[in-house]
Structure 1
Amino acid sequence: MGSLLIKNARNIITMDGKRQRFPGGSIYIEDQEIKAIGTDIPYETADTVIDARGKIIYPGLINTHHHLYQTFTRNIPMAQDCELFDWLITLYDIWRHIRPEDIYLSAMVGLGELLKSGCTTAADHFYVFPDGISGELIDEEIRAAGELGIRFFPTRGSMSLGRSDGGLPPDEVVQKESVILKDTQRVIETYHDNSRFSMIRVGVAPCSPFSVSRDLLKESANLARSYGVRMHTHLAETKDEENFCLEKLGLRPLEFMEDTGWVGDDVWYAHGIWFNDDEIMKMGSCGCGVAHCPSSNMKLSSGTFPIMKMLQNGVKVGLGVDGSASNDASSMLMEVKIMNLLHKLQAGSTALSAEDCLYVATRGSSKVLGWEDGIGSLEVGKAADLFMVDTGRLEFAGALFDDASLPILTGTSQVDMTIVGGKIVVKEGRLVNIDEEKLAMRAQIAASRMLETAAKHTKMNYYKPRIQSFEKQLY
């Protein structure tokens, strides 16, 4: 890949252990690795030189929880005023008609939006495998990530407990446990790379206590640990989930995880809103992590994540966008702002600062993913994953007083440049080597087709006129 020199930055916000800043600083990169950073580095030239005058440089944001396939079910009116269980039931009838090409396109859109909002590493949780559709759907997400150049952490999700067996999802989107375990093993062996600057790591991720069996959780944990990969699942997201676990299993959600081997420093949960104080202490002592997803939690009325208790008890906390259908966006910068505002409302003057929230979305997220040796901060020996904003933009006028907080408090949703592993992937706010308009058109056609198919098979006739109207505009 050669060398890259970024020089004369207005400021470099490192998020290293000392939270150093380097006004007027430069960064020298060879291949993926940062070799020098500061205001007086011994490098004056490189294969590629970027003059960052007027730009602020930040470490790339790290998304610890997403469902990229949901990008095609954003802004669905029937799913806007539901809590989690009803929301899922509504959307399962659409997701059951998803095709491999839909997975690829939805990942291209979601990951592209993440890159344009300063995200350089994304974890995804894919768990919907409809009957009659190729089981190698997660491969389509991996293909998209490779084309866009984002660092990717896909987790092979699963659902084995359909409605006929007392679970929440329809039987048409669950799989046999033998099929799940075999394909999970295939994904790990085919794609997982545990090296420091890997572009892809793989995790094991049964969906939730209300969609998988006890046996699948135990076998998935055994499989993950036999390969040394991390484990991920939804947990303690809503009171409905807690009630389900108590009624069906006789255990609280975390007790169920303990019973099936799903606690430890190789485990991270999504959401984690409804843990009690003893459970939070236990999670901190055993090294569990949590992906905090504020926008999704607010939209689905799930509750407010107890972030201060989590951090005070040593729980690893990172930031997650969550599925586009429960967020309606894939913007990491917007997510950091919402996180900051939510916890200001919750805790007032004792809440995390904007810079603290940036730390959660960078260093915190890298710890949740077990990747702190390679990503999460800008310092010598780490990967050159970063984004830049141009302080000459109109939306920053009158706000140039705290460079660390600037893109968070001002609420900007897009960055000017994103670099992953020393490679420019967003330039002047646009994806590099991607025709964004063409991609957007292909994606909307696919989303409309999926919704139309769902309308034919369910009571969703409400959507048919809207779909037909849009298709006329396209052609």
Structure 2
Amino acid sequence: MSAPSNDTLLVIEGCAVATVDAAGTEYRVGHVVVRGNRIEAVGSGPAPETAGATRIDGRGCLLTPGLVNTHHHLYQWVTRGLAADATLFEWLTTLYPVWAGIDEDAVRVAATGGLASLARTGCTTTTDHHYVFPREGGDLLGAEIDAAAQVGLRFHPTRGSMDLGRSAGGLPPDSVVETLDDILKASADAVSRWHDESFDSMLRIGLAPCSPFSVTADLLRESALLARELGVRLHTHAAETVDEHEYCLSTHGCTPAEYLEQLGWVGSDVWWAHAIHLDDTAIATLAKTATGVAHCPTSNARIGAGIARIVDLHAAGVPIGLGVDGAASNESSSLIEEPRNALLFARQRNGPQALSVRTALELATLGGARVLGRHKEIGSIEPGKLADLALWNLGTLAHAGIEDPIAALILGSAPPLAALLVNGRIVVRNTVIQTIDEEAVGREVARAQAKLVAKAG
């Protein structure tokens, strides 16, 4: 989806505005002016008269930066609801044989459905961690990139990988692992083919070996070297479950955090998914190295993996974003639910003032942008930044009478979207996605799911 012309003007006014800038600026009634794909102005009261501008009446609404999703597995949209009561390792061993049958068609359909759901819940930028590459699957990364372009979200997919199959002591079946050489070549090719470093880039690639129990030390080490040579970011699962902790202790003689640090997997170009089971030393290491964390509270609870030490991580200065995680471990994949659940679980662990509603919103926006290295471009509403914006309708019965609009957004029911802008273009308007036919995509999802499960059975 190309950017609007620099002559295109859009004004949103009459709404509450939470800018999430460094000063925490908010307007009870304010406006934003968008020129092309950039924010031109933000302020209190009505917007100045602007000839030829498209105007959106935001009365009864709250305008926030678009939400940033820092961890996902889009292909799982067509395997939701399976192994619903399993532990992580049980869940994985149940689903790996199903995932071994994915192909371009299944991934394109799944990604379209997953991305559309994210858009309807306020997401303007999303990552994806795709690490299952069956030998006859086709161009799976390309399929989800096509889907993101169709839906219209800013996309940060990672070329994932696994090279430690069951026969070598890993968890995944041998049919879905690749050789080290093949992975490194495919990773370099993905960066060369798709990665765009421009300020208003809609597509950036990262490298993402899957997890300590599905990849070798050589793959982790070589992927880190390659990513830094190519100037792209690194992502992996880390410290997600007690099982993983025990696996690393027995296999490597150290914790997952210590293992990753030894292999070069810390730094401002790295972010870990989950990071639940961390000791004080590990948190200090993440803070010192500016290693980011994708906090996935809903998925963590769905799998029963534990409650991350998000308050301690935040206090230490660790960059933190939020993620819905794979759709098979978070069937709703609603990004607006994540700041609410992050707040609730933080308070359950650390008390009633552990995390404020405004900090929860910051984690979902600027925090995620910081984790992805894009905080100068997105994540707050400031002149010069990209126009990725979510306009939430709080004029509903569910939100009536909640005086603080940010409390209404974070603690209340997930509000409907009046509008979602990505790169200055309207992707959702009055809850309806403008870029795809949702009913048709739903039919395709059901078809692809039935086909995939039948293939595995």
> Would the TM-score normalized by the shorter structure come out above 0.5?
yes
The equivalent position to 1:153 in structure 2, one of 153, 156, 167, is 156
Instruction: Tell me how large the CA RMSD over aligned residues is.
Output: 1.3
The equivalent position to 1:238 in structure 2, one of 215, 237, 241, is 241
Matched, 1:398 2:401: yes
What residue number does 1:36 align with? Answer: 41
Q: Distance in 2 between matches of 1:297 and 1:140?
A: 28
What residue number does 1:95 align with? Answer: 99
Relative to the length of structure 1, the TM-score reads 0.93
1:336-373 deviation per Cα after TM superposition (whole angstroms, max 9, x unaligned): 22222212211222211122101111111111111101
Q: Distance in 2 between matches of 1:175 and 1:58?
A: 42
1:194-209 aligned within 5 A:
194-209=197-212
Q: Distance in 1 between matches of 2:299 and 2:33?
A: 38
The equivalent position to 2:440 in structure 1, one of 438, 441, 446, is 438
**Preserved contact between residue 96 and residue 173 of structure 2 (Cα < 8 Å):** yes
The equivalent position to 2:123 in structure 1, one of 111, 119, 124, is 119
Q: Distance in 2 between matches of 1:284 and 1:43?
A: 46
| SS of aligned partner of 1:23 | strand
1:178-217 aligned within 5 A:
178-217=181-220
Identify the range of structure 1 (404-413 vs 313-322) with the bigger mean alpha-carbon deviation. Answer: 404-413
Change (3 A) 1:413 1:56: closer
Q: Distance in 2 between matches of 1:295 and 1:391?
A: 23
**Preserved contact between residue 268 and residue 290 of structure 2 (Cα < 8 Å):** yes
What residue number does 1:110 align with? Answer: 114
Compute the displacement of 1:382 (Å): 0.8
Q: Distance in 2 between matches of 1:405 and 1:5?
A: 27
The residue type equivalent to 1:22 in the other structure is Y
The residue type equivalent to 2:13 in the other structure is N
The residue type equivalent to 2:110 in the other structure is S
**Preserved contact between residue 302 and residue 330 of structure 2 (Cα < 8 Å):** yes
Matched, 1:63 2:66: no
Compute the displacement of 1:301 (Å): 1.1
**Preserved contact between residue 148 and residue 425 of structure 1 (Cα < 8 Å):** yes
Matched, 1:346 2:349: yes
Compute the displacement of 1:6 (Å): 2.1
The gaps in structure 2 that reach 5 residues or longer are none
The residue type equivalent to 1:315 in the other structure is V
* Identical counterparts, % of pairs: 44
Identify the range of structure 1 (115-124 vs 35-44) with the bigger mean alpha-carbon deviation. Answer: 35-44
The residue type equivalent to 2:315 in the other structure is Q
Q: Distance in 2 between matches of 1:403 and 1:419?
A: 20
Q: Distance in 2 between matches of 1:189 and 1:46?
A: 40
The residue type equivalent to 2:57 in the other structure is D
Which portions of structure 1, spanning 4 or more consecutive aligned residues, are displaced by more than 6 angstroms? none
**Preserved contact between residue 69 and residue 102 of structure 1 (Cα < 8 Å):** yes
Compute the displacement of 1:9 (Å): 2.3
1:160-309 aligned within 5 A:
160-309=163-312
Q: Distance in 1 between matches of 2:194 and 2:430?
A: 32
Q: Distance in 1 between matches of 2:11 and 2:273?
A: 36
**Preserved contact between residue 331 and residue 413 of structure 1 (Cα < 8 Å):** no
Q: Distance in 2 between matches of 1:425 and 1:255?
A: 42
Q: Distance in 1 between matches of 2:193 and 2:142?
A: 10
Q: Distance in 2 between matches of 1:123 and 1:229?
A: 13
Q: Distance in 1 between matches of 2:60 and 2:311?
A: 35
1:186-243 deviation per Cα after TM superposition (whole angstroms, max 9, x unaligned): 1101111112211011100000011111111111011100111110000000111111
| SS of aligned partner of 1:180 | helix
| SS of aligned partner of 2:14 | coil
Q: Distance in 2 between matches of 1:433 and 1:307?
A: 36
What residue number does 2:409 align with? Answer: 407
1:74-96 deviation per Cα after TM superposition (whole angstroms, max 9, x unaligned): 112xx111111111000111111
Compute the displacement of 1:413 (Å): 5.7
Matched, 1:326 2:329: yes
What residue number does 2:54 align with? Answer: 48
What residue number does 2:142 align with? Answer: 139
1:438-460 deviation per Cα after TM superposition (whole angstroms, max 9, x unaligned): 110111111011111111xxxxx
Compute the displacement of 1:42 (Å): 4.6
Compute the displacement of 1:100 (Å): 0.7
| SS of aligned partner of 1:397 | coil
**Preserved contact between residue 64 and residue 318 of structure 1 (Cα < 8 Å):** yes
What residue number does 1:5 align with? Answer: 10
| SS of aligned partner of 1:396 | coil
What is the number of equivalent residue pairs in this alignment?
451
Matched, 1:381 2:378: no
What residue number does 1:23 align with? Answer: 28
The residue type equivalent to 1:48 in the other structure is T
**Preserved contact between residue 28 and residue 43 of structure 1 (Cα < 8 Å):** no
